A and B are shown apart, each in its own frame.
Chain A
Amino acid sequence: NAGVTQTPKFQVLKTGQSMTLQCAQDMNHEYMSWYRQDPGMGLRLIHYSVGAGITDQGEVPNGYNVSRSTTEDFPLRLLSAAPSQTSVYFCASSYGRRKDGYTFGSGTRLTVV
């Protein structure tokens, strides 16, 4: 049981490049989310999903795109990378029941130069 797997763990991009951060979970969780965390700051919600085919925007969605074609996968796409998107990105998943918390992946550390 791998839990939540994020790839890559580290990435350096040039301004204007696009890329996809991968997130996969093997726990049959319906709910999945993407967060970013900047130094000295809390986690900010980018996009989230409550099931395959259903996504919605969080607090800071601009510059990011998501899709949820399967229960297992929830990729995050950076459309045109900017230095302001340098951050640590965490993916999380949950059954979504009232008592269930979210399980987080180990994060992707992204630097945009």
Chain B
Amino acid sequence: RKEVEQDPGPFNVPEGATVAFNCTYSNSASQSFFWYRQDCRKEPKLLMSVYSSGNEDGRFTAQLNRASQYISLLIRDSKLSDSATYLCVPLGSGNTGKLIFGQGTTLQVKP
């Protein structure tokens, strides 16, 4: 099983829609999780950190389900500017510095 698995998509949604992505991870000892956003040919940028049951920042909500070993990212009221690839990253216990990224989920928001 891969360390991190994401549905690559693409998810095509209209402006204003609510969309959710899931990410499953194999290391049950992972304590923290990150969602990154990556625009085409650009560097990834941190969107949100998750280290309890979840986190919310404006239109973005991340939820963690440790029992099922997945985290989700919910985007409400989608904007055209939300079009990007969203990367899930679990941080293993002890923070060894070895950060393994998922392949990412691509979101296309259409007018």
Contacting residue for B44 out of A43, A44, A100, CB 8 A: A43
| Contact (Cβ within 8 A) B44 A48 | no
| Contact (Cβ within 8 A) B87 A106 | no
Number of interface residues of A (CB under 8 A): 30
Closest chain B CB from A13 CB (angstroms): 20
Closest to A42 in B: B103
| Contact (Cβ within 8 A) B49 A101 | yes
Closest to B47 in A: A101
Contacts of B44 in A (CB 8 A): 43, 90, 104
Q: A90-B44, A106-B43 are in contact. Are A41 and B103 (CB under 8 A)?
A: yes
Contacting residue for B46 out of A31, A33, A43, A101, CB 8 A: A101
| Contact (Cβ within 8 A) B99 A103 | no
B81 at the interface (CB under 8 A from A): no
A56 at the interface (CB under 8 A from B): yes
| Contact (Cβ within 8 A) A98 B51 | yes
Which label, helix, strand, loop or mixed, suits the secondary structure of the B interface?
loop
| Contact (Cβ within 8 A) B46 A102 | yes
B110 at the interface (CB under 8 A from A): no
Closest to A107 in B: B43
Contacting residue for A31 out of B32, B34, B97, B100, CB 8 A: B97
Closest chain A CB from B10 CB (angstroms): 12
Contacting residue for A59 out of B36, B43, B96, B100, CB 8 A: B100
Closest chain B CB from A64 CB (angstroms): 16
| Contact (Cβ within 8 A) A42 B97 | no
Chain A residues packing against B (C-beta within 8 Å): 31, 33, 35, 41-45, 48-50, 56, 58-59, 88, 90, 92, 94, 96-107
Chain B residues packing against A (C-beta within 8 Å): 31-32, 34, 36, 41-46, 49, 51, 87, 89, 91, 95-104
Q: A98-B32, A99-B51 are in contact. List 20 more A-B contacts (CB 8 A).
A: A42-B87, A42-B101, A42-B104, A43-B101, A45-B99, A48-B97, A50-B96, A50-B97, A56-B96, A56-B97, A59-B100, A88-B41, A90-B43, A99-B32, A101-B34, A101-B46, A101-B89, A102-B46, A106-B43, A107-B43
